[in-house]
Amino acid sequence: MEDIKKLRNIGIIAHIDAGKTTVSERILYLTGKTYKIGEVHNGTAVMDWMEQEQERGITITSAVTTCMWGENRINLIDTPGHVDFTIEVERSLKVLDGAVVVFCAVGGVQPQSETVWRQADHYEVPKIAFINKLDRVGGDYYKVIIEMHKKLGANAAPVQIPIGKEEEFAGVVDLITGKAYLFSEKGDLDGLTEIPLPDNMKDLYSHWRHNLVEKLADVDEEVAELYLMDKQIENEQLKNYIRRATISNLIVPVVCGAALKNKGVKFLLDAVCSYLPSPLDVNLPKATNPDNGEEVALKPEDNEHLCAYVYKVMHDPFVGTISFTRIYSGTLTSGTYVYNSTVGKKERIGQIAKMHASSRELVPSGGAGQIIGLIGLKYSITSHTLCEENYPIALDKIKFPDPVISLSIEPSTRADQDKLGMGLQKLAQEDPSFQIRYNEETGQTLISGMGELHLEIIVDRLKREFKVSSKVGSPQVAYRETVTQEVKSTGKFIQQTGGHGQYGHVEIKIFPGERGTGVVFEQEIKGGSIPREFFPAIEKGIKEASKNGVLAGYPVVDVRVVLYDGSFHDVDSSEIAFSNAAGIALRDGLKRAKPVILEPIMRLEVTTPDDYLGDVIGDMNMRRIKIEAIDQKITTKIITGAAPLAEMFGYATALRSLTQGRATYTMEPSFYKEVSRDIMEKIIAA
């Protein structure tokens, strides 16, 4: 139990380019995990081990490693910042106990910062904030704290304040102890120099120390009592109160630094160990018995019943499949058998490994609270639960986002045909936000993902890892179809072929549904016009038919289908007959319910120098982008808006040429919106 108490499962999450991987590399160096600091810009970062990551200087896949800081063991996951790989953040947060959210002192709270913050909130993950790049021109610690309050609704509570700003950022003041520290030439790698609190910072220290205690008093009755009685709070006691409030998600401690110059990462590690929870401090996920749906209580102890969760799989050319697994209770031992309750199959645990990015250290077993790699599992993929066969346990699955963009793909040669299929299947197993489907009408294989970069990486991995040369078509938008009018519809499937025939007859109502609800099936049948055992087949027929709409063959979403009547035949009725009848009824009804096409709208943020504002806005208007706000930040303008994805292909190149390469943009899926009549006609004609 003492070991579990000193364990920290944390993730580094942030907007792209905030410095996540740089922070991770300093942590590895300071904890003695690596002997040389890897740099993202040189392609030598240990955590960015994929060739594509090293070439592009971005993180694509979440890498996990284990290191020691004092007596504490830290399992660290470095996640991507790019929105195309948001699934990596989602599944990492599902199994983490705490998160370090990195903010750029210049950029502040950026769009993807908000996305990862919401993801962490969804899984109730306690957070600490690290405000990075304080040595950069325009870096402002206090402005970022204000933005955290305004944009994230975060109860940000600084536990440090910086000494100096921008190029003169030289050290920090600890608000708990009142001590001031100066960094050496090598940052905090050579140790820190403790100095008396500078005179010009005494008022600032007093203000922010008071602010910290005040924030704790608002969320903790014990602190409130001491605060109202004007009693002195001891330093160690204050740390305990901060820890308690952080674990309860009531405050977010804030520390600062400049990771590239090795400044402040030691304090960050201290904060991780002091304030973020161990597996004993967090609420374990909801677990049920899959046989009867009853809730099962989990305890993070090695001698309890086994419950482990596979949150990610990766295909390694040398050892095969590696399943990244979080053990919530019990122990996993190599050479033993476990039960996969998600698919109802037994699995043999081959080898168990502690992961360090792409390398592995084999261990005989893994205990409660650990994050490990299991080598050689046959049936287990992302979101599957491993347990004991005589004590089945199931954990909730992760909800994956729907793809927004598709490409057609075909092998360059006939010899590549089989390799292409095998490679795509393996990549789809690894990444649930990547989907493959075969269009029977055109004979094309379509691959779908979260953005152009996502699919570009997929095609590149096919070439490098699976040695498949392929040709891809131009990107296609993942449109959807829905209805705007309520209709009634009848579906009959009657066949007589000698002997038993087929008979199914359904009456349904089709209603426009709420946005984001998909296809909802309900029954309102009175009496026994259709036996209940056929309801699942009718629902299956509705869901199958909704995969292809009546306008342009896009999936149908946001409709409510109500089964209200029908009839059956004692001998000839079957599940197939009712499934077909339901499909006929839906297709007929969709044609009469004034169907429309929905297009994905992206949330766009463009940062451009003031000089190019007119050109950028002119281009945005041509692309049907609805501009929502224009903000000033030093010498740049930040434009936010809602952009139709169909108009955004090749935008990176266009923006570069408009602004001589000086503007940048970020884009993430936001919502689906009905297209105008003229655009709908173009989509149908295509």
pLDDT of 231-280, one tens digit each? 888 889 999 999 999 999 999 999 999 999 999 999 999 999 999 999 99
For residues 72 and 8, the answer to whether their CB atoms sit within 8 Å is: yes
Residue 414 is classified by DSSP as G
Of 336-345, 346-355, 439-448, 627-636, the poorest mean pLDDT is in 439-448
Kindly give the pairing relationship between strand 252-256 and strand 127-132: parallel
Q: Is the pLDDT of residue 681 over 80?
A: yes
Kindly give the pairing relationship between strand 7-14 and strand 72-78: parallel
pLDDT one-digit tens code per residue, 515-564 = 888 899 998 876 678 888 899 999 999 999 998 899 988 899 999 999 99
Kindly give the pairing relationship between strand 98-104 and strand 7-14: parallel
- Domains of the chain plus CATH, in order, are 4-166+246-275 (3.40.50.300), 290-395 (2.40.30.10), 405-473 (3.30.70.870), 480-593 (3.30.230.10), 598-685 (3.30.70.240)
What Rg value do the Cα atoms of the chain yield, rounded? Answer: 28
Q: Which residue has the higher pLDDT, 54 or 648?
A: 648
Kindly give the pairing relationship between strand 156-158 and strand 252-256: parallel
CA angle 148-154-160, nearest 5°?
70
134 among the known binding-site residues?
A: yes
122 among the known binding-site residues?
A: no
CA 531 from centroid of its chain's CA atoms: 42
Token digits for 425?
A: 């299947």
**Exposed, middle or buried, 497 (CB in 10 Å: 0-12/13-18/19+)?**
exposed
426 among the known binding-site residues?
A: no
366 among the known binding-site residues?
A: no
611 among the known binding-site residues?
A: no
281 among the known binding-site residues?
A: no
d(CA 435, CA 161): 47
CA angle 72-77-78, nearest 5°?
125
For residues 673 and 599, the answer to whether their CB atoms sit within 8 Å is: yes
State pTM to two decimals. 0.76
d(CA 343, CA 338): 12
Helix (H, G, I), strand (E, B) or coil at 400: coil
pLDDT of residue 55: 65
Q: Is the pLDDT of residue 58 over 80?
A: no
Q: Is the pLDDT of residue 2 over 60?
A: no
Residue 304 is classified by DSSP as S
20 among the known binding-site residues?
A: yes
82 among the known binding-site residues?
A: yes
For residues 12 and 102, the answer to whether their CB atoms sit within 8 Å is: yes
pLDDT of residue 636: 82
18 among the known binding-site residues?
A: yes
Whose tokens are 């053990």? That residue is 327
Q: Is the pLDDT of residue 507 over 60?
A: yes
16 among the known binding-site residues?
A: yes
Residue 223, number of CB atoms within 10 A of its CB: 22
Nearest to 609 by CA among 633, 589, 590, 637: 637
d(CA 445, CA 467): 18
19 among the known binding-site residues?
A: yes
- What does 596-657 look like in DSSP terms, one character per residue? EEEEEEEEEEEEEEGGGHHHHHHHHHHTT-EEEEEEEETTEEEEEEEEEGGG-TTHHHHHHH
Bridge partners (DSSP) of residue 101 are 13, 129
d(CA 295, CA 113): 34
Q: What percent of the chain has pLDDT over 90?
A: 45
Residue 402 is classified by DSSP as P
Nearest to 451 by CA among 62, 35, 28, 86: 86
Token digits for 106?
A: 């210049």
Exposure string of 631-668, with b = 16+ CB inside 10 Å and e = fewer, is: eeeeebbbbebbbbbbbbeebeeebeebbeeebbbbbb
The C-alpha torsion from 457 through 460 and 465 to 466, rounded to 10°, is 120
Nearest to 483 by CA among 461, 512, 509, 460: 512
